[in-house]
Structure 1
Amino acid sequence: MTTPPTVLFICQHNAGRSQLGAHLLDVIAPGEFISVSAGLNPADEINPVVAESLAEVGADTSAARPRRVTEADLATADVVVTMKPGLRLPAPVTGQRVEWEFPNPENWDLNGVRTMREAVAARVRLLAAELTDQPA
């Protein structure tokens, strides 16, 4: 594993779930990981409700732009977290693959996204603890 380890979060559009994962990892374990996100079919922009919910916990999404996952992403990430089971990735994963299941928050209100944010944060805390061999 590289130092710091790179954790790549992937979802369909890179506008919601994967953005939550990557930004929450930065908030939960600042400086301990390189967190990135990508999607299979990127949206034009991050979901504004997701961005608002992340701002509530101190995450700055102003520079966040959905982007397509690349073969290089999959080859260089130490950990690849898919936020939806069964995603067909464009290349093999060379690091550890973790599969989570979260629904698409595309048309959700802020309260719904907050609930998902907290669920994703709980999983991110466990992953960060596992990767650093510390209690969650």
Structure 2
Amino acid sequence: MSDKPTVLFVCVHNAGRSQMAAGYMQALSGGKVQVLSAGSEPKEQINPIAIRAMAEEGIDIANNVPKILTTEAVRDSDVVITMGCGDTCPIFPGKRYEDWEFEDPAGKDITVVRRVRDDIKVRIQELLAEILPITA
């Protein structure tokens, strides 16, 4: 892993879970992590309820655009986090892969999306503690 690790978040539509995770990673890492997100079957836009839930946390993902998962994105990442689409992700030796299971927020109300968001935040905090060196 380089001085600035690259983390890729992948879910099916790249419109909810992976976008919220990417938003948290960018915000909580303070720019110390290169963040990518993609989907195996991306939607046209970010889930508006996910945008609202993240805005409540002071994180703006409204201008993000869902992207298709590419082999290059996986190859260029140090850590690949899948969320319900692990079978579609190419495997490269030397990468760290994790599959995080979260309820799909698509079509759910704000209460469910907040719960998913909060669960994602905890996992992001744990991952950051593992991948970023502690500096005095």
TM-score normalised by L of structure 2:
0.91
Distance 1:48 1:112, change over 3 A: same
Q: Secondary structure at the match of 1:69?
A: coil
Name the CA distance, whole Å, in 1 between partners of 2:57 and 2:2.
28
Q: How many residues align?
A: 133
Q: Give how far 1:107 is off.
A: 0.8
1:42-61 alignment, distance < 5 Å: 42-61=42-61
Could you say if the C-alpha distance between residues 43 and 20 of structure 1 is closer, same or farther in structure 2, counting changes exceeding 3 Å? Answer: same
Q: CA deviation at 1:133?
A: 4.5
SS at match of 1:62: coil
Q: How many percent identity over aligned positions?
A: 35
| Matching residue of 2:87 | 87
2:84 is aligned with 1:64:
no
Give 1:132 deviation, angstroms. 1.6
AA partner of residue 59 (structure 1): I
Asked if 1:5 is matched to 2:20, the reply is no
Amino acid in structure 2 at the alignment position of 1:33: V
What's the CA shift for 1:83?
Answer: 1.3
TM-score after normalising by structure 1 = 0.91
- 2:52 alignment partner, SS class: helix
Q: 1:49 to 1:93 in 2, by over 3 A?
A: farther
Matched, 1:124 2:134: no
SS at match of 2:124: helix
Structure 2 unmatched ranges of 5 or more: none
Q: Secondary structure of the residue that 1:87 maps to in structure 2?
A: helix
Question: Are the counterparts in 2 of residues 85 and 101 from structure 1 also a CA contact under 8 Å?
Answer: no
Distance in 2 between residues matched to 1:49 and 1:87, nearest whole Å? 27
Is the CA contact (8 Å cut-off) linking 1:27 and 1:58 kept in structure 2?
no
| C-alpha contact 2:11 2:85 (8 A) present in aligned 1 | no
Does structure 1 retain, via aligned residues, the 8 Å contact 2:24–2:124? yes
Hey, what's the Cα distance between the residues in 1 that align with 2:52 and 2:74? 29
Q: Which moved more, 1:6-15 or 1:27-36?
A: 27-36
**Please, which moves more after superposition, 45-54 or 21-30?**
21-30
